[in-house]
């Protein structure tokens, strides 16, 4: 077996194993077998394409590339493929008609994403928009999510809000935080009637995180608007969320 072939196979196997282990360690196991298969399949495809491309470049070189040079070319190729793939996904989301629109004040970094979450099985269930404010005087994240409604769906707002809050609470409690939440209260989201709850996460009686969760429905989706702020966040960020929540326009 020629050296470039050995190098390609070695880089492919090593990177595939490292990527899969990293995905499981930092993101966790996907919620379904289909999601796990998609994640692993995508990793195998990307690492395999990078190995083939690197082998095509190296096979006719004389003398053969060293392992160090081949690995460097392979890593660069893998990064480029990842950037192209992510760019294509982002472009498809930006070009598709989005089910809602809203404007943000200066200072917010806004990103539109596929799916109601980052898990592969959720990519076709809806879309979401995330806005981040990371400044020394306060950190905040706004997440607006549209989960597509199927024909006949009639979500009960109180039940859906309770389910979301329960999931958030479990996640925070897993971080050794104490969580208190308010009772659901009537609110307005995109000129539609909705419900909202507020959560406070504390550690040793010190406030760590405040989260607001508001839900409503439109003709096309079950819609949630979430604000998460750090303990040093300013009232202006809460006011910005109140404005965004009311000024959202469904399409």
3-state secondary structure the chain: CCHHHHHHHHHHHHHHHHHHHHHHHHCCCCCCHHHHHHHHHHHHHHHHHHHHHHHHHHCCCCCCCCHHHHHHHHHHHHHHHHHHHHHHHHHHHHHCCCCEECCCCCCCEEEEEECCCCCHHHCCCEEEEEEEEEECCEEEEEEEEEEECCCCCCCCHHHHHHHHHHHHHHHHHHCCCEEEECCCEEEEECCEEEEEEEEEEEECCEEEEEEEEEEEECCCEEEEEEEEEECCCCHHHHHHHHHHHHHCEEC
Check whether residue 58 and residue 112 sit in a common domain.
no
Final residue of a structural domain among 66, 95, 124:
95
CATH of the domain at 211: 3.40.1000
pTM of full prediction above 0.75: no
Check whether residue 134 and residue 228 sit in a common domain.
yes
Check whether residue 85 and residue 121 sit in a common domain.
no
Nearest to 31 by CA among 114, 119, 115: 119
| Block residue for tokens 């099985």 | 121
Nearest to 71 by CA among 19, 6, 1: 6
Residue 29's pLDDT band (cuts 50, 70, 90): very low
Final residue of a structural domain among 60, 95, 130:
95
Check whether residue 173 and residue 149 sit in a common domain.
yes
Containing structural domain, residue 87: 3-95
Q: What is the DSSP letter of 213?
A: E
Check whether residue 83 and residue 183 sit in a common domain.
no
Final residue of a structural domain among 40, 74, 95:
95
CA angle 116, 121, 124 (to 5 degrees): 55
Check whether residue 49 and residue 88 sit in a common domain.
yes
Check whether residue 125 and residue 246 sit in a common domain.
yes
Check whether residue 107 and residue 72 sit in a common domain.
no
Domain count, the chain: 2
CB 167 within 8 A of CB 154: no
pLDDT digits (tens, 9 = 90+) for 226-240: 998 887 777 888 889
Hey, what are 40's tokens?
């692993």
Hey, what are 148's tokens?
């597509």
pLDDT digits (tens, 9 = 90+) for 10-24: 888 888 777 766 555
pLDDT digits (tens, 9 = 90+) for 34-90: 445 555 666 777 788 888 888 888 888 888 888 888 888 888 887 777 666 554 444
Check whether residue 106 and residue 219 sit in a common domain.
yes
Check whether residue 85 and residue 167 sit in a common domain.
no
Check whether residue 31 and residue 116 sit in a common domain.
no
Check whether residue 140 and residue 49 sit in a common domain.
no
């Amino acid at each position: 077996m020629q050296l470039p072939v050995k190098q390609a196979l070695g880089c492919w196997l090593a990177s595939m194993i490292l990527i899969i282990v990293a995905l499981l360690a930092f993101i966790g196991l996907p919620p379904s077998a289909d999601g796990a298969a998609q994640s692993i399949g995508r990793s195998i495809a990307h690492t395999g394409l990078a190995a083939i491309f690197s082998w095509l470049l190296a096979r006719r070189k004389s003398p053969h590339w060293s392992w160090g040079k081949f690995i460097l070319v392979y890593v660069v190729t893998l990064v480029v493929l990842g950037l192209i793939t992510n760019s294509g996904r982002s472009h498809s989301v930006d070009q598709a008609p989005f089910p809602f629109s809203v404007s943000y004040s200066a200072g917010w970094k806004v990103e539109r994403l596929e799916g109601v979450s980052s898990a592969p099985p959720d990519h076709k269930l809806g879309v979401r928009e995330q806005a981040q404010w990371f400044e020394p005087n306060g950190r905040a994240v706004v997440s607006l999510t549209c989960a597509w409604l199927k024909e006949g769906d009639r979500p009960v707002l109180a039940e859906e809000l309770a389910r979301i809050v329960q999931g958030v609470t479990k996640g925070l409690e897993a971080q050794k935080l104490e969580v208190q939440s308010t009772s659901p209260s009537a609110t307005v989201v995109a000129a539609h009637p909705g419900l909202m709850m507020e959560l406070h996460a504390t550690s040793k009686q010190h406030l760590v995180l405040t989260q607001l969760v508001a839900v409503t429905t439109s003709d096309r989706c079950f819609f949630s608007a979430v604000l998460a702020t750090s303990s040093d966040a300013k009232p202006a960020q809460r006011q910005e969320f109140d404005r965004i929540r009311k000024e959202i326009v469904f399409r």
